[in-house]
Amino acid sequence: MIAQANYGGRVTDDRDRRLIQVYAKEIFNDNLIAPERWRPYGTEDLNYFYPADEQNVKHPDPSQLFIPDFFYEEIVNKMEDIDPPLAYGQHINAEITSQILDSNDLLASILGLTPQKSGGGGAGASTGPLKLINSIVESIPENIDLFALKMKLRGDDNPLNVVLVQEIQRYNVLLKKLRISLDQLAKGI
């Protein structure tokens, strides 16, 4: 019903609608709330279990036993800290890829924090980021003379010329913003 009501009017392709129905059947599964205590596929040998059997407890007042602190202690003491990729329906190689990406991010952060060069005195315009900014500023082309172009194309009503003039206007605005941003960045450094 969710696939038909929520997405049925928005998804117009029949195959896409069928795909959404398949996803909905997999996600909204009766086994998730069944009394058999559903577990993620492939995690049968892992330490996933329910902290308490609330239906068969022998306590005078179960509401005092099953408080948030009880569940917190059960989770902290008895469950694993890191879930394997199988718990999310992913292949074991997903964990390797995730670890590689995390390592690369960590190393990039460490390299970004370490000084690249050491020396006495202040850094001039010839070192580091200012050198890069200056090289970018030097490579930026001059604005295109829009007035001269319009004079050259005067009398030619070709639609491509209209588009050309519009794109050159946008291009000149982009060049101006780029120069301003690089100037402000250099002043900030």
Higher pLDDT pick, 140 / 79: 140
As a whole number of angstroms, the distance between CA 83 and CA 90 comes to 11
CA distance 187 to 181: 10
Kindly state the average pLDDT of the residues 41-57. 61
Nearest 10 degrees: Cα torsion 21, 26, 30, 31: 170
Residue 133 lies in a domain: yes
Determine what percent of the chain is predicted with pLDDT higher than 70. 73
pLDDT band with cut points at 50, 70 and 90 for residue 5: confident
**C-beta separation of 149 from 120 below 8 A:** no
The answer on pLDDT for 165 being more than 70 is: yes
Over residues 166-175, the pLDDT tens digits come to 999 999 999 9
Give the tens place of pLDDT for each residue, 90-147. Answer: 788 888 988 999 999 999 988 887 776 655 555 555 567 888 889 999 999 999 999 9
The mean-pLDDT minimum among 36-40, 87-91, 92-96, 177-181 falls in 36-40
CB 144 within 8 A of CB 171: yes
Packed helices 128-139 and 159-188: angle between N→C axes, nearest 10 degrees? 160
Of the ranges 56-60, 170-174, 179-183, which one carries the lowest mean pLDDT score? 56-60
In a domain, 178, yes or no: yes
Question: Is residue 183 situated within a structural domain?
Answer: yes
Whether residue 60 has pLDDT greater than 80 = no
The secondary structure of 20-89 as a DSSP string is: HHHHHHHHS-GGGSSTT----TT-TTSS---S--SSS---S-HHHHS-HHHHHHHHHHHS-SS--GGGGT
What domain count does the chain have? 2
How far apart are the C-alpha atoms of 171 and 40, rounded to whole Å?
54
- Residue 71 in any domain: the answer is no
Question: Are the CB atoms for 140 and 175 separated by under 8 Å?
Answer: yes
Domain that holds residue 142: 128-188
- Structural domain contains residue 28: yes
Give the three-class secondary structure for 12. coil
% residues pLDDT > 90 (the chain): 24
Q: Does a structural domain hold residue 62? A: no
> Who has greater pLDDT, 54 or 164?
164
31 within a domain of the structure (yes/no): yes
Contact indicator for 47, 79 with CB cutoff of 8 Å: yes
Residue 24 lies in a domain: yes
For the ranges 6-15, 57-66, 136-145, the maximum mean pLDDT occurs at 136-145
